Structure 1
Amino acid sequence: MSSNDRIAPVIPLFGGTRGAGPSTGSVEAAPLQPEPRVDDPSDQHDVSAPSEPDADEIRQRAEAALVRRLRAKQLSVSEARSVLRENGLDRNAVEDVVDEFLRRSYLDDHTLASLLVISGSERKGQGRIALARSLAQRGIARDIIDDALAELPDDDAERALDFARSKASGMSRLDYDTALRRLHGQLARRGYGGSVAMDAARTALGEVGVRRASSRPSTAHPSGVRFVDSE
């Protein structure tokens, strides 16, 4: 065999000894085997149980929720407490947050009551009874409600008549008793009660021509005195 016909020696890549002479066959590389993994107890984590938020996190979330609500509309102190309780704060934490918001004037029942009274009387035509009811539904204290109502001028009769006039024209086709009953009911629902509502309804209906068709005949007393039924 000539020198050109000799086969170069094979160098094993994965283990084995280096051959010194010519190779008489092919050499297969042994597959790599992963090293056995030894678990470290310190690497074990329970991912199934999420960590509970602490008190500070709960308070921050509750305050953020309250701020978002206050950006949408002004709340009473009672309504603010409800928002905080809904977001997981206990009683002591609720009072701490409310005190802080009061100190910063984020909450002010006196200002809120005044605004609601002005809006209800001027825009909605509400009387004192309806105004007091709407403020109480917002959780505002009775003494604050009384202070807000005291700022109103004593003109319930005038406001009632203005409201009655705005509704009376739509009742011109009704008979008098039906129109009076409906208009009086609308006035009562807006907080005008008793004689104020009745006087306003009668005046407004009379102005648009809705009157009682006829009065009952007068009756004569045996003494000769005549009595006429009034409305």
Structure 2
Amino acid sequence: MCEPDTPPDGDGTGAAPASGGEKALNRARGLALRMLGHKPRTAAQLEAGLLRRGHEEEVVAAVLDECTQAGLVDDAVFSRAWVSSRHHGRGLSRAALTRELRTRGVDEETVRDAVAELGDEDEAAAARALARRSLSASRGRERDTRMRRALGVLARKGYGGGVSYRIVREELESEGADIAPEPPE
């Protein structure tokens, strides 16, 4: 079950030499454990890493199955942790988190479930915090410059234009800044 490499023959342990298939499986297990020890990975990332290093598809499938059964690889757990960490740590929107999980090979249902844990209030609070930080860093500059920069920060974090504009506008108003009327739609 996803065990490290066995020592090579002739190591003084008296162990019988492993067959070619067992050796390949043991090497792949060892690599999988090293990869997982470095950082958490999705099943797709682990599979790609093992294949990229020349392991046979059957060996990779067996190692992935063993690691999944042992609880070392769980895309649902990974996704929930990823969403929580990246949303609270970097303020990423649900859209940005969805894109990131998809690029890591997580299936659509798991992505939806993980991202669904963030509510509209959570997302608005994160966007508001980002807008405040950006606006406070640009005090003393022209209102349009401050607004443009704050909108840029929110856009890079994956927030839509309408939500971003509303939040930045509200934050500027709370500072007492003179706000122009809303643009026509």
TM-score class normalised by the smaller sequence: 0.7 to 0.9
The Cα offsets for residues 142-184 of structure 1, whole Å up to 9 and x where unpaired, read as 2111000111222122221122112211112222222212111
The TM-score with structure 2 as length reference comes to 0.80
TM-score of the superposition, structure 1-length normalised? 0.65
Q: Determine which of 170, 173, 185 is the counterpart of 1:203.
A: 170
Query: What is residue 183 of structure 1 aligned with on the other side?
Result: 150
Identity of aligned residues (%): 30
In the alignment, is the contact (CA less than 8 A) between 2:80 and 2:114 conserved in 1?
yes
Q: Which residue of 2 aligns with 1:32?
A: none
Preserved contact between residue 58 and residue 87 of structure 1 (Cα < 8 Å): no
Q: Say if 2:130 and 2:153, in contact at 8 Å, map to a contact too.
A: no
Tell me if the contact between 1:167 and 1:183 (Cα under 8 Å) persists in the aligned partners: yes
Q: Tell me the residue number matched to 1:73.
A: 39
Residue 115 of structure 2 aligns to a residue whose secondary structure is helix
- Gaps (5+ residues) in structure 1? 1-52, 216-228
In the TM superposition, residue 230 of structure 1 has moved relative to its aligned partner by 4.8
Count matched residues: 164
Task: Tell me the distance in 2 between the aligned counterparts of 1:180 and 1:135.
Answer: 30
Any stretches of 5+ residues in structure 2 without a counterpart? 1-18
Matched, 1:171 2:138: yes
Answer whether contact 1:58 1:88 (CA < 8 A) is retained.
Answer: no
Residues 14-36 of structure 1 show CA distances to partners (whole Å, capped at 9, x for unaligned) of xxxxxxxxxxxxxxxxxxxxxxx
Q: Which residue of 2 aligns with 1:158?
A: 125
Q: 1:86 aligns with which of 33, 42, 52?
A: 52
1:201-222 CA distances to partner (integer Å, 9 max, x unpaired)?
112233345435xx6xxxxxxx
Cα RMSD (Å): 1.9
Assess, with a 3 A threshold, how the Cα gap between structure 1 residues 137 and 211 changes in structure 2: closer, same or farther: farther
Work out whether residues 51 and 60 of structure 2, in 8 Å CA contact, stay in contact via their aligned partners in 1. Answer: yes
Structure 1 residue 108 displacement after superposition: 0.1
**Greater fraction of residues in helix:** 2
Match of 2:105 among 98, 119, 139: 139
- Shift, 1:98, TM fit: 0.8
With CA pairs under 8 Å and 6+ residues apart, which has the higher RCO, 1 or 2?
A: 2
The one-letter amino acid paired with 1:206 is E
Q: Which has the larger radius of gyration?
A: 1
Amino acid of the structure 1 residue aligned with 2:152? G
